[in-house]
A and B are shown apart, each in its own frame.
Chain A
């Protein structure tokens, strides 16, 4: 290990310790404040009882000392020794802490007591779960359970507001609990480490009144919804990607499966999962912090609305005052919010209708494969080994002799084609590379080739451009090495390899492999 690495590591450790120390100090201050509050309340109660000593004057005249001492002892007996019923339903510090919402007619004392008596499970402590948890813990929900199997990554911090730089690599559940405890130590927090599975879902959900779906895959969304229907729990579900978000209150009122008065479930709205190759994660598609934050905050809001409506609204007593709806948020559209009226339960829903095939037994047995239901994508591997080159060997081509063509290194010896989208190409790229975004390539019709289109002059610009340099080999690179393979195939279909005379291949593992094996300084975004 070089001295630089040691210095960096020490710096990181110091930052981490300092931030932990700060957290502890904050928690200590909070605890000291509370204990001081309790002590001063105690004192003021005591002094109320013995303060004026109304008889003190009289007793000093002609009353026997022993008798006087006895009376005074009886009078000054602090009331604490006699067990008394609780005078106020909330603790003294709770009136202060929740005062701003307590004085609103929507909440009031009853609402606050309902929040205090409620337990809520938050599945996923990421971009949605962090703000949702912060507001629910802030509002004084009595018990909050947190489910997550991931650890904090640096790329989470721009939106997952409970985590911090010092807690990178810490389990998300643990990191969130530290932040939430320093926010409101009155709330009971229950950690559930690990990802939710069909086998654990029922037992995990059972003790809670309401569930928030803050997960990030189609499979987990169906699992969370099915479990809520089977256990009769209302579900507040939200999602976000790029600049879009969706919010639904599902299975509310939470009537048993087959009861048409119950609210629709996730399957009623989206019976079929999206094809797996079309599912984009925040890591691949991107996400704007305030977009996912907005959705998480709205989840907390809907949860507070349901919980403060009272136990009759939670059980199957009352119908929901709001008809089921889907709120769509599009940050760059006008208007930003749209509300879609949803139907009631779908007559043939697989879980909440009389035709239900999904039962608690089926779920518990683990025989339902949600991952399979939603489909998986195999890693793309469509090229033969002589159509691929490792990042290290490509680096040699840039510096040494080309092992395929025997050409001396020169910037002009080949074409390096980067097929990432333009915005990514602009973040960082290899010197001399040309950018043709994958979206442009994949939207070019495959029959746009070999003769017809070329002759008619209707060929896409990028294709004819590449056709001009018939002798130069083309190296295709992308972020991870998937799109590059598809591009190579497509270019051969378009006849850009001149019937095999020109070498076209991809750089295995893309720019990630380049960073890993060749240039450690290449930005990791």
Chain B
């Protein structure tokens, strides 16, 4: 349910829709600080296969704001996810 506050030295990560199905979690805490460019490889380590099956098409947000880390020249690769930040992995939902 409501994600608990991240303990010191961690950030919260929320998984929506297909990301939640894949990880079998709604949220968790991961060590901070972390560079945005390494976020996907970190998650791939934890959940083998998630990069291709889920993350490749996802929107990613930090503290409720969209960040662009897609591609080698993406504007937010340098961004650092800090202690207490809230990251969200948002796969497109296309049904209706």
- B96 A272 Cβ-Cβ under 8 A: no
Residue of B nearest to A299 (CB): B96
Is B46 part of the contact surface with A, judged by Cβ < 8 Å? no
Residues of B within 8 A of A285 (CB): 95
A334-B2, A340-B66 in contact; A127/B57 too (CB < 8 A)? no
- A275 B95 Cβ-Cβ under 8 A: no
Interface bits A322-342 vs B (CB < 8 Å: 1, else 0):
000010101001110011111
The CA-CA distance from A273 to B92 in the complex, in Å, is 8
Binds A, one of B5-13, B32-40, B48-56, B77-85: B48-56
Interface size grouping (class) on chain A:
35 or more
Q: How many residues of B contact A (CB 8 A)?
A: 26
Binds B, one of A102-110, A181-189, A216-224: A216-224
Selected from A238, A272, A335, the residue in CB contact (under 8 A) with B70 is A272
Residues of B within 8 A of A269 (CB): 59, 66, 92
A275-B53, A334-B2 in contact; A270/B92 too (CB < 8 A)? yes
Is A124 part of the contact surface with B, judged by Cβ < 8 Å? yes
Q: Which residues in chain A, 233-275, are within 8 Å of chain B measured between CB atoms?
A: 238-242, 244-246, 269-275
Smallest beta-carbon distance B94→chain A, Å: 5
Q: How many A-B residue pairs lie within 8 Å, measured between CB atoms?
A: 104
Binds B, one of A138-146, A276-284, A448-456: A276-284
- B96 A214 Cβ-Cβ under 8 A: yes
- A274 B91 Cβ-Cβ under 8 A: yes
Interface bits B54-83 vs A (CB < 8 Å: 1, else 0):
101101010011101010000000000000
Residue of A nearest to B76 (CB): A343
Is A126 part of the contact surface with B, judged by Cβ < 8 Å? yes
Most chain A CB within 10 A, of B61, B66, B88, B93, is at: B93
- A218 B18 Cβ-Cβ under 8 A: no
Is A215 part of the contact surface with B, judged by Cβ < 8 Å? yes
16 chain-A/chain-B pairs, Cβ below 8 angstroms = A215-B96, A216-B94, A217-B95, A218-B94, A238-B96, A241-B17, A244-B93, A246-B93, A270-B59, A271-B70, A273-B57, A274-B57, A274-B91, A282-B96, A333-B1, A333-B26
